[in-house]
Amino acid sequence: MSKLEAIEPQAVIRNFEKISAIPRCSGSEKEISDFLVQFAKDLGYEAYQDKAWNVVIKKPASEGYENIDPVILQGHMDMVCEKNKATVHDFSKDPIQLVVDGNILRASGTTLGADDGIAVAYCMAILEDKNLPHPPLEILITTQEETGLVGAMKLEGEKLTGKTLINIDGEEEGVFLVSCAGGVRTKLILPLKKKKSKTDEITMELSITGLRGGHSGGDIHKGRGNANKLMGRLLYELKRTVKFNLYALEGGAKMNAIPRECSAILGFKKANIEKAKELVESLEKKITAEFKKTDPDFKILFDEVNELPKGKTLPLKKSAKNKIIHLLLNIPNGINSMSQDIEGLVESSNNLGVITFEGDKILFENSTRSSVESKKIEINRKLEELANYTGCDFENDSDYPGWKYREDSRLREHMKKVYQDLFGKEPIVEAIHAGLECGLFLDVIRDDLDMIAIGPNMHDVHTPDEHLELDSAGRVYSFLIETLKRMKEM
């Protein structure tokens, strides 16, 4: 605790520590939402909470700033809840265990939640500061951003009157985000049929582990391995070589995170075990060589199972097994197209994020992103056609728009000047492939809203390796409050 208390800006770190003690996984935000409302009321501010648990807090202008239009400061309260397999942690009640390592803040075996807890901590510090010069502020903290911008979709926009919005969900200091991809989430749901088990079978667990994972938008261009797709490759090669039964398959944890782990339970005749082991060992060597730079800790485990999991004691019929393997091989994954307008920008992609085995069905959950609507539709139709071909039910969820670049942004030009004056260099202005809520705010708040997105240096978000650079968090906070202080110049 003493290490945290000594870190500047103290108000930001203190408040980040407070919210890290409150459960806030996507879809379970009531407790953190109630906390933020009470926090605002204790300071004497107006606070609103809607049915989706979004929170709006209004702080009046400081003296001399009363005639400036309100500025909206925005972030999201939810976090991606991922942990290492060996980590004992219950996200529904256990506080995030913060670890200070020099200039780095991380968590012990879990995601840190700086995405986007740092925005919440910034806003709390600004609300507490009675001496900060600023225009009228409207603090907007949304819910379920990580599961498809659900809170932003349900936002009651009439509570907000600001014409400018600073989104604090960026992950790179000195980079001003001015455009982002839209997206849609899809599920392919395959009904399963089972058969009687072979009494002479040896059951084996095939596991992929050690992959780095990452954000399915911000890291999709890095070529990291997708555990679900690699499992498809393993199962296909096994099917070509040796007979086996499939009992269970699970992979990934979040639709918008590149899956780090996947496991399958397979049944073999005793005579085929050694042949299967030889093939798995050969494939491990090949895949290790392919991903030696991006995923140096990649491993395949292939061990005998003494007892089958409850509800997974019967193998699938051959037709169901073959359909699963077909889907794993053919569901599009990774980059689909690159932008022709912005060099180096991923235009469209798909992430096969989660595979869930539920009784008599198996779910394949995807996150599709695109800055071009027609490309998003193209990927969506590929998935739908695969679903039709294999007899899956097909569901679309959380379809959200992209955020188009605005050429006449007064906010962007103002913040560029403040940044250059403060740090002596030009900020980078760019579009990103990840999804932000800004596109939705044009629909639910006002269609001429002038917006920009910023944030401190964060790395490996959506994974247990997530970490925040503390000095960067301090500099970005200084820049944010200086931007507010100089809003008279805009």
Catalytically active residues are: 78, 145
β-strands 393-400, 182-191 pairing: antiparallel
What secondary structure letter does DSSP report for 421? H
3-state secondary structure of 437: coil
**Sequence-ordered list of residues with C-beta below 8 angstroms from that of 488, at least 6 positions apart, any chain:** 65, 68
Residue type (1 letter), 467: H
How far is the CA of 424 from the CAs of 22, 419, 421, 452, 470, in angstroms? 39, 8, 6, 20, 21
Distance from C-alpha of 490 to C-alpha of 486, rounded to nearest angstrom: 8
Half-sphere exposure of 297 (CA within 13 A, CB side): 7
Alpha-helical (H) ranges within 291-317 are none
Lookup result for tokens 């071009």 = 372
Query: Please, what is the Cα angle at 480 between 477 and 482, to 5 degrees?
Result: 110
Distance from C-alpha of 365 to C-alpha of 235, rounded to nearest angstrom: 19
Structure tokens given for 54? 């979004």
Rg of the Cα atoms in the chain: 24
* C-beta atoms surrounding 152 within 10 Å: 27
Residues linked to residue 299 through DSSP beta bridges, in sequence order: 209
Say what the alpha-carbon torsion angle 319, 325, 329, 334 is, to the nearest 10 degrees.
Answer: 120
Half-sphere exposure of 180 (CA within 13 A, CB side): 23
User: Which stretches of 60-215 are assigned E, i.e. beta strand?
Assistant: 71-76, 98-101, 104-107, 137-142, 164-167, 175-180, 182-191, 201-209, 214-215
* C-beta atoms surrounding 38 within 10 Å: 11
